[in-house]
Amino acid sequence: QSALTQPASVSGSPGQSITISCTGTSNDIGGYNYVSWFQQHPGKAPKLMIYDVSNRPSGVSDRFSGSKSGYTASLTISGLQAEDEADYFCISFTSSVTWVFGGGTKLTVL
């Protein structure tokens, strides 16, 4: 199972919106609505931001939203803030009854 494809980096200014894409195949993203997104700050454990494509866990800001179209899932962060600067990883359930992560995207807040 190959890793999902994410852009290596994205950037935005405070207050702006950015979108991170995560592209897979019919065997993962395209076949299931089990896509999650994690935020990871340097030296810290990952934190769940979105699950099941578009659901936010309690305590996560509503500035974070998720969606999916075909084989591509997306994470949108609106009203960008300095503390959003981190690495973001998508993950999807697969037809092999396993999970596969994306390669990760480094978000820089300019």
Partner 1 sequence: EVQLVESGGGLVKPGGSLRLSCAVSGFTFSNALMTWVRQAPGKGLEWVGRIKSKTNGGTTDYAAPVKGRFTISRDDSKNTLYLQMNSLKSEDTAVYYCATGMRSDNTWGQGTLVTVSS
By CB under 8 A, tell whether 102 contacts partner 1: yes
Say whether 2 sits in a helix, a strand or coil: coil
By CB under 8 A, tell whether 40 contacts partner 1: yes
Scanning 14-22, 64-72, 78-86, 96-104 for contacts with partner 1 by CB under 8 A, the matching segment is 96-104
- Rounded-to-integer distance, Cα 110 and Cα 95, Å: 39
| Count of residues engaged in binding partner 1, rule: CB under 8 A | 26
Say whether 83 sits in a helix, a strand or coil: helix
Q: Which residues are CB-neighbours of 83 under 8 A, at least 6 positions away? A: none
Q: How far is the CB of 14 from partner 1 (least distance, A)?
A: 26
By CB under 8 A, tell whether 64 contacts partner 1: no
